[in-house]
Structures are given as structure tokens and as C-alpha cells.
Chain A
């Protein structure tokens, strides 16, 4: 049964409500940030990072291509690092990261402010079987979110003992 729900396609997981859309957005924004980071990394190498910066400085620039991040390096001039292109890249990265991060904080908060909703999820069988009966928000999230990484359900919704035995 566990296998069945894990191999459902995204469409079959029922992307209908806000949480499901945000689940997908979290993944896609991660890929988007990777694209921007790679772009900044390649840009840094093209602009001469290889001879003037150490590895940590290059990574600092790649994760946020803001000119203040390369001012302490051996670069002769940082003019090329402060163009509108890089400001735009940094802004896009910040915007994506903020949206991704704020939703992440909401998800974490939701784990610790569980209350009555959490109790809808009564058994691991229910969660793994693909939620035949909809139980609102929590059941839906279980259905959509249950990957090997979403251990929070096993930790905070009374499922630990079952995972323990595996």
C-alpha cells in the first residue's frame, strides 16, 4: 500500500487546493532558484572569479549575486558585478526565496500549532492508502505530501510507533 501512494503522478494526487499548489510551488521555486544560482555562478566565472576570488566568495555570490558580496575579494573593479542584469537576478532570487521561505515557515508553524485538525489523521493505513475518504485539510496534505521526507506526520500525528516497527 505504501508503494501505491508514493508512485502516484502529480495529477493523481489531486492538485486542487491552495496547499497542493504551494506544494508544487515549493518544488518548482527550488528549481527556479537553482537556475538563478547556476546563472550567477557561471556569470562569476565569466567575469573572472577564477583568478580573483576564493571558493567561499564564489558561493556567496552565487547564492545572492549582490555586489556587496564580492567587495572583499581581489577583484580590480566590481563595476561588471553591479549591472542591472545582476540586480534583476538578485531581486528575482530574493523574491523566489522569500515566497519559498515564508511558505516553509507556515508549514513548520502548522506542525506545532496542530490542535484538533491533527487528530483527523488517525492511522498510518489511512495516510498510506491514498485517503479514500477526504478528511479535509490534514488528510489532503497527508495524501499530497507524504514522501520519504515528510516525517513530520510520523512525528507529530501519532504515527511514530508504526514507523518504529518497520
Chain B
């Protein structure tokens, strides 16, 4: 039977929702990204050899490090917001403000990290 939706798939994809939607979908992408690629990284390190070396070579590439660091940092910061709001539900009244604080923490941290990763990669 599959899924029963009241909206079409295209409407679902165009759905943007309030502020929480972007963080929701990025949280999911970040979680999946970490789940898949860190599992591969651990397995590759465990297996070792030429095959593991190739996989870890991709993982340790600076461009991939930016992606995986985005996943980890966003998931961590957004997860802390979810945890705080869920364990103290009265704060849900300020959930939009919480998301702004979250971006204010995430963007500088991630920006500095990307700058360092890129400048290290380019500068040797």
C-alpha cells in the first residue's frame, strides 16, 4: 500500500514549514551522514590494507571533512536544542528564538572550522 498522504509528493517536497523544518531535515541528513560514513570509516580502519586505505583516503579528504564536520556539528548543536526543549517543555514557547541562538552558535563554529580546514589543505 505504501504511504497514505493527504498532500502530493511535489507539495510535500515544496513544503518549507516554519523555522523548525530546516533544522529538522538537516538534523536527519546529519544523522544519516554520520551513521553511514562514520560506520564506513570505522570499518575501513578496522579492515585496513589497500581497500581500507582507499576508503579512508576519501574520508580524510578535506572536502569530505567539511561535509562530515557539518553533519557532526549541526547534529550535535541541534540535538542539544531538541534535548533542552524536550526535557524542559515550557521553553517550547521560545522555540523560534532557540533556533536563532542555535544558528548564532553554529555558524561561527563551523565557519572557523571550514576556514582552518581549507587553509590547511591549501597551505600544506
A and B found bound together? yes
Whole-angstrom distance between the alpha carbons of A147 and B91 in the complex? 11
Chain A interface helix/strand/loop/mixed: helix
The B interface, classified by DSSP as helix, strand, loop or mixed, is helix
Q: A55-B116, A56-B113, A59-B113 are in contact. Are A151 and B5 (CB under 8 A)?
A: no
Q: How many residues of A contact B (CB 8 A)?
A: 45
Chain A 98-142 near chain B by CB (<8 Å), digits 1 or 0: 000100110010001011101100000000000000000000000
- Count of chain B residues with a beta carbon within 8 Å of a chain A beta carbon: 47
Within 8 A of B (CB), among A30-55: 30-31, 33-34, 37, 54-55
CB-CB nearest in chain A for B32 = A108
For the complex, give the distance between the alpha carbons of A161 and B12 in Å.
9
Question: What residues make up the interface of B, taking CB atoms closer than 8 Å to A?
Answer: 1-7, 11-12, 15, 17-18, 20-21, 23-25, 27-28, 31-32, 34-35, 38, 42, 45, 65, 69, 72-73, 76, 79-80, 82-83, 85-87, 89-90, 92, 95, 112-113, 116-117, 120
